[in-house]
Amino acid sequence: YRSVTAFSPISNPINCPWGQKALQNYLGKDKATWQQYDASLLMAKADKFVPAMVEQGKDDSFLDEQLKPNMLTAAAEKKGYPLTLEMHDGYDHSYYFIATFIEKHLKFHAKYLF
């Protein structure tokens, strides 16, 4: 990969109810196995950096309990990982949020492809 972007990702799935449920259903009960699928933990251990951008609505009802973007930014800051997290007033977890910012993501990727 040359770049990565995400809209409202579950940034620390081993520490949120949705992530724990999904990881257990897919991978079983061994929590050590889950770590290789947790973006915050992977970012904290990264030895290769790929420019990353995350968009998040500030009015997303899942923000604190499920999505945890603060965990992703903490890992990026500690590691010096090139992450841009943009928090947007007035946006939630809806299609309209993605539709509003998708062009920005495509331009971000294009910048690193050519």
Where in the chain are the domains?
A: 4-113
Q: What is the pLDDT of residues 31-49, one digit of tens each?
A: 999 999 999 999 999 999 9
Q: What is the pLDDT of residues 14-24, one digit of tens each?
A: 999 999 999 99
pTM score, whole prediction: 0.91
User: Rounded CA gap, 12 and 98, in Å?
Assistant: 21
Overall average pLDDT of the 90-105 stretch: 96
pLDDT score recorded for residue 52: 97
pLDDT score recorded for residue 114: 79
Q: Is 37 exposed, middle or buried (0-12, 13-18, 19+ CB in 10 A)?
A: middle
Q: What is the pLDDT of residues 66-86, one digit of tens each?
A: 999 999 999 999 999 999 999
Among residues 7, 15, 2, 4, the alpha carbon closest in space to that of 66 is found at 15
Q: What is the CATH number of domain 4-113?
A: 3.40.50.1820
